[in-house]
Amino acid sequence: MTAIPGISDAIEGTIRDTIEDTLTWPNRIIVPIVPGDYSDLELKPVGLLEVKLVEARDLKNKDLVGKSDPFAVLYIRPLSAKTKKSKTINNDLNPIWNEHYEFVVEDSSTQHLTVKIYDDEGLQPSEIIGCARVDLSDVMPGKVKDVWLELVKDLEIQRDKKPRGQVHLELLYYPFEKQEGVSNPFAGQIQLTSLEKVLKTESNGYDVNQRKNVITRGVLSVTVISAEDIPAMDVMGKADPFVVLYLKKGETKKKTRVVTETLNPIWNQTFDFVVEDALHDLLIVEVWDHDTFGKDYIGRCILTLTRAILEGEFQDTYVLQGAKSGK
């Protein structure tokens, strides 16, 4: 069977992952010296990690013709049954996934989430673009952690310092409530955030399956205040910038006025969006340069709506992706 293309690699990968998981987990091995019940000493699931794979940017191109077709693989334990895989985004070095996954956590103090970005080669083995890791001990229970992780070639041997891009994640960790013989993943005694209150069931607890079906609707108000240090787009060292805003799941686009001949425009314009599914939508903000016969793309920012749900009103500054400068 190993002579069949792909079978040998699959078997080798399964064996490697199983051995790696055995060597790194469990972190505690109980060796009975005298007969007795030692089940309380065994490491058990302690929580649930929710992961939103938002996007990646500036990925290293692995294709000689065209661009890479990236997809992501995420895991806490490197077993096939516990590994999540994203969809493939064709011909894109700045892919947007906006996909949600859940992982059971056995030890939040020692375990970590691993993310590997691959280039889909079709019938050929996928080629790794880069990988990253985040320690679960850095994720505060009940609080959303928004992170950009630098991708490296190898997590263990970091000799290759060449840029491989970044991956954007949102992490939310729920500890399981300690009950005798019962593990309820969403009835913990932590202080509830606004998002959790929205998702809380009427039975004074959380239900994973119900929570997946929750849809948060409302009106999102966005004020575009200003921009700074936008790259020059004409021979005079200036630009005529304007902003286009839209929801990834929506069809309506909103546009600011054009501010002429400046790299530091001020708009102070507010736009309202009707949001049908805030937990799974994205706000995309693009900056363009206006020309007499068209427009030139400058850069963009991509924001989840999680923070708006959690905090309500807030103000922040975001770096323009894809531009040499600007925020």
CATH number of 285's domain: 2.60.40.150
Please choose, from the candidates 144, 130, 120, the residue with its C-alpha nearest in 3D space to the C-alpha of residue 68. Answer: 120
CA distance readout (Å), 217 to 19, 199, 213, 279, 281: 46, 13, 13, 9, 11
Same domain, residue pair 56 and 130: yes
Residue 9 has pLDDT above 60, yes or no: no
In this prediction, residues 134-150 reach a mean pLDDT of 92
* Res. 243 pLDDT band, cuts 50 70 90: very high
Confidence of residue 37 (pLDDT cuts 50, 70, 90): low
Cβ contacts of 235 within 8 Å, gap of 6 or more: none
Q: What does the block give as tokens for 216?
A: 């948060």
Contacts made by residues 2-11, CB under 8 angstroms, sequence distance 24+: 6/125, 9/125
- Compute the C-alpha angle 300/303/309, nearest 5°: 155
Does residue 207 lie within any of the structural domains? no
Same domain for 107 and 14, yes or no, is: yes
The residue range of the domain holding 286 is 218-311
- pTM here is 0.74
Render pLDDT for 40-57 as a digit per residue (tens, 0 to 9).
Answer: 666 678 899 999 999 999
Say how many domains are in the chain. Answer: 2
Please tell me whether residues 75 and 222 are part of one structural domain. no
Q: Which of 30-44, 78-92, 248-262, 285-299 has the lowest mean pLDDT?
A: 30-44
Is 242's pLDDT higher than 70? yes
| Claim to verify: residue 147 and residue 255 sit in the same structural domain | no
| Confidence at residue 121, expressed as pLDDT on a 0 to 100 scale | 83
- pLDDT bin (cut points 50, 70, 90) of residue 33 is confident
d(CA 238, CA 289): 10
Residue 268 shares a structural domain with residue 169 = no
Residue 138 has pLDDT above 50, yes or no: yes
Residue 148 lies in a domain: yes
pLDDT at residue 27, as a whole number: 56
| Cis amide linkage into residue 26, ω under 30° from 0 | yes
Q: Is residue 268 part of a domain?
A: yes
Are residues 52 and 130 both part of a single domain?
yes
pLDDT score at 221: 95
Per-residue pLDDT of 167-211, as tens digits, reads 999 999 988 865 344 333 333 333 444 444 444 443 344 444 445
Our CA angle for 287, 291, 297, nearest 5°, is 30
pLDDT of residue 64: 73
Does 248 share its domain with 170?
A: no
Q: Is residue 291 part of a domain?
A: yes
Query: Binning pLDDT at 50, 70 and 90, where does residue 225 land?
Result: very high
Share above pLDDT 70 across residues of the chain, in percent, rounded to a whole number? 76
Which of the two residues, 174 and 64, has the higher pLDDT score? 174
Which pLDDT value is given to residue 299?
A: 94
Residue 312 reports pLDDT greater than 60? yes
CB proximity list for 214: less than 8 A, separation 6 or greater: 198, 199, 279
Residue 234, domain member (yes or no): yes
Same domain, 131 and 16: yes
